[in-house]
Structure 1
Amino acid sequence: MRGSRGGAVLIGALAVDSLGNGLFLPLSLVYFVELTDVPLALVGVLLTIANAVTLPIPIWVGTLADRFGALPLVVGAQLLQAVGFLMYAWVSGPVGILVSSALVAIGVRFFWSAVFTAIADFVDGSTSTLSRDTWYAFANGARTAGLAAGGLVTGIVVTDGREATYRAVACAAAACFTAAAVLITAFVRTGPGHAHEPLEHSGYATLLRDRPFLGLIALNSVYALSSMMLGVALPTVILIGIQGPAWLTSALLAGNAVLIAVLSAPVVARLTGFRRTRSIVTAAVLWAAWCVSLAVLVPGQPEWVLPVLIGGTLLFTVAELVHAPVSMSLAAAAAPPAARGRYLATFQYSFTISSIIAPAFFATLFELATAAPWIALGLLNIASIGGMLLLERRLPAAAIKDPAPSPS
């Protein structure tokens, strides 16, 4: 039976994919404002609609991944994004913005709903001694490196503000997604990872009866919200909360990205042998401590505020290094093999919902008091610790910790 191959190429292709995302991420709104006559408010509405129509997609993707395998879906998602970004280069009005951004949004949703199942399928068919946690850590590091590199390149090249430069960035993003799709198609195989005995209950019936997994999704929504808050809130915290220089935001975000890109795999290697649930609890404790560090910040006292802000960002980074790969490994291991595509696609809703909530959560509470969002988020993380420890008793033992290898 054919096994998996091309693991290094898979991780490299994911880095190229993320490079494409990173190239365009800083231009999400300004691109259409600069290149069309469509008002900013309408651009925002069109992009919101384009993303909203993708919400049901993970349910469909999960079923397809279980039936046909996830890797072809990943390739299709990348090609769809490539087409969307090519259309960006020729957009001139509202209809074009909506259609092109919808294609990209659908591709993004397909990608994130399938890629973690594809990695799990690869690990199942691989002869590598590396754990699933480590492969997820490699993917997390590659993604972060690609996003950071793309954002840096775009920040440099668009300073001239010419339309041709903006269009070139869109075409370069399309080329990245195309290259990633070609690399995966040519060199990566995941073996029969999705071929398992069918479940007694078809469709999503098994998942809806799996209360521990639904609890895991609910708890992960807290962690997903926490992981998004650095990018969402840090610029406002620095400019308004402590009245600091704008460059400090870029410096902290860049430092966070570099550490995640470099340390993802080594940190997860250190966690081998520990319960995944306890590792996630550790991440929650670190996020709660990060929230405390932000809650105490005040303007006008840089001699202690800056060290606290830097130290707090390091706490956040370590939490993210632990949570991102370990939580995905826990979800993949807790899913029945025959329904893993559906389980992991549904698990992504914890990130989708949190991405919708995060801006309003932060802005509303920050208006009340600068410490309010951090107190609320810290309490959510503390409460999640008890929930995770209770959930630990109900999750499969093999999901909480990989079984020890049998002696040869």
Structure 2
Amino acid sequence: MPADDVTSQASPGTSRGGPVLIGALVVDSIGGGLLMPLSMVFFTRLTDVPLALLGVLISVSQVLTLPIPVWAGALVDRVGALPVVVGAQLLQGLGFLAYPHASGPVGIFAAVTATGFGVRFFWSAVFTLLADYVDGRPAAASAGRRAPTKDTWYAWSNMARTAGLGLGGLATGFVVADGRAATYRIVAYLSAACFFAAAGTIGVFVRAPRLVHDQDAGAGGYRALLADRPFLGLIGLNGVYALSSMMLGLALPTFVLTGLRGPGWLTSALLVGNTVLISLLGAPVVRYVAGFRRTRLLVAASVLWAGWAALFATFGPGHLGWVVPGMVVATLLFTAAEAVHAPTSQALAAAVAPPRIRGRYLATFQYSFTLAGIVGPAFFGTLYGVHRSLPWLALAGLNLASVGAMLALERRLPAAALRAPATATA
């Protein structure tokens, strides 16, 4: 039974603190944006550990986090998502608190591993937390009032995350420009404080109870998930979307600098513009497209990404007079795709998931983003080394191929999961 159609034995109105939750996610993202991009530079600046060894330590710590979504999903289904999210934020805070005190390889490895575990637990649980909140929120005040759906709440969370990361990332620029060791330490403590504040706020003011579902709502664990071929297909297709979503930030600086030989401000302007638009327009876009099938919205996002990538493939050096406005138009296509994809994909995954094991489903869904993060640098670097247009052409081709695959998958997904509910029920 889809999660949007949960039959719960809990009374409506047991959730509370939704706006506080979104605000806490902004603070959480500021904490991540402050220090995550500086991890390598931080230890290079404050310790004598060689850069090559630092890279190995950080990479190994990230590999160790790969099984965490499996554990986190089972834990969320057992104890609920809220304590897992709070624990993950506390773990990240402790990790960043240890950064200034790590002077050797062992300390560095412990600090980055703690933060890496916290990050993975957080992303494996937060979408279930939002889904639990929506299922237990107060009913609409009147029959004519449309309450926010999971799609809208996921859009708000994406806006909050984007805004927080943008603010945190802006601060990192000042840290790098300042360059003093004391400034790096202060930022580490501020980052830790953000995570502690977010955890405390959510733990005290937010309630998103794990509802008691009917016994036949979807028994089974990971065995049932692995037998759910349509959901596995959705994870695979979302890997293409996740790869597309990360490619702007990953590839744009290199493409502008070496492929176009363009000015440095062009990269900053495009990335900042994308961040601002997502931060402001995510939820309005979701409300505007609320009547469409979620699968068709993902198809639209893939077409937009294909158009963005195809335009980038045409850009070359020496023609900045038309390349710059062309890149602005292309980035607007990317932004529209991202605004539609982020909340819609999570809402579709939550709607497909059997309620009793929704934690496992949504945690496993995050592997599409994890694998895209692993594949992305090699995908871009290898193809870009052949020709500057090749990664963009390949990405456009992947997105166009995903259109037919998603339309085929649509017929195998539960009909109730394809659209956001017309009215929200507690």
TM range (shorter): over 0.9
Q: CA separation in 1, counterparts of 2:212 and 2:369?
A: 24
Q: Which residue is equivalent to 2:235?
A: 217
Mapped pair 1:307 → 2:325: yes
Partner of 1:241: 259
User: 2:139 aligned with 1:121, yes or no?
Assistant: no
- Is the 8 Å Cα contact of residues 223 and 381 (structure 1) preserved in structure 2? yes
Is structure 2 residue 260 aligned with structure 1 residue 203?
no
2:393 to 366, 375, 381: 375
**Equivalent residue runs for 1:63-102 within 5 Å:** 63-102=74-113
Kindly tell me the number of residue pairs found equivalent between the two proteins.
407
Residue 14 of structure 1: aligned partner: 25
Secondary structure of the 1:273 match is coil
What is residue 318 of structure 1 aligned with on the other side?
Answer: 336
Which of 101, 121, 127 is the matching residue for 1:110?
Answer: 121
Say whether the 8 Å CA contact 1:194–1:337 is kept in structure 2: no
Q: Please report the TM-score for the alignment, with normalisation by the length of structure 2.
A: 0.93
Residue by residue over 1:88-114, the C-alpha shift from the partner in whole angstroms, topping out at 9 and shown as x without a partner, is 011101111111000000000000000
> What SS class does the counterpart of residue 28 from structure 1 fall into?
helix
Of 11, 14, 37, the match for 1:3: 14
**CA separation in 2, counterparts of 1:271 and 1:237?**
33
Q: Select which of 343, 350, 358 maps to 2:361.
A: 343
C-alpha displacement at 1:259, in angstroms? Answer: 0.3
Q: 1:27 to 1:300 in 2, by over 3 A?
A: same
Q: In structure 1, what is the equivalent of residue 349 of structure 2?
A: 331
Q: Does 1:48 align with 2:45?
A: no
Give deviations 1:164-208, integer Å, cap 9, x for gaps. Answer: 100111110000000000100110001233655366653201111
Q: Provide the rounded CA distance (Å) in 2 between the counterparts of 1:219 and 1:254.
A: 28
Matches within 5 A, 1:141-160: 141-160=159-178
**1:190 equivalent in structure 2:** 208
Superposed displacement of residue 247, structure 1: 1.9
**8 Å CA contact retained: 1:295, 1:375:** yes
Q: Distance in 1 between matches of 2:186 and 2:215?
A: 48
The letter for the 2-side match of 1:154 is T
Q: Amino acid of the residue matched to residue 255 of structure 2?
A: V
The SS at the match of 1:29 is helix
Q: Which residue of 2 aligns with 1:276?
A: 294
Does the Cα contact within 8 Å between 1:157 and 1:165 map onto a contact in 2?
yes
Distance 1:183 1:196, change over 3 A: farther
Runs of 4+ in 1 over 6 A off after TM superposition: none
Task: Please state if 1:260 is matched with 2:260.
Answer: no
2:72 to 26, 50, 61: 61
| Separation in structure 2 between the aligned mates of residue 402 and residue 257 of structure 1, nearest angstrom | 26
Matched, 1:175 2:155: no
Ranges in structure 2 where 5+ consecutive residues have no aligned partner: 1-10, 141-146
In the alignment, the residues of structure 2 paired with residue 237 and residue 348 of structure 1 have an alpha-carbon distance, to the nearest angstrom, of 28
Q: 1:194 to 1:261 in 2, by over 3 A?
A: farther
Alpha-carbon RMSD across the aligned residues, in angstroms, is 1.4
More displaced stretch, 106-115 vs 125-134: 125-134
Q: Distance in 2 between matches of 1:403 and 1:92?
A: 53
SS at 2:101's partner residue? Answer: coil
Letter in 2 for 1:331: A
Residue aligning to 2:7 = none
Question: What CA distance in whole angstroms lies between the structure 2 residues aligned with 1:40 and 1:198?
Answer: 54
Is 1:28 aligned to 2:39, yes or no? yes
The structure whose RCO (Cα within 8 Å, separation 6+) is larger is: 2
- Deviation of 1:405 after TM superposition, in Å, equals 4.1
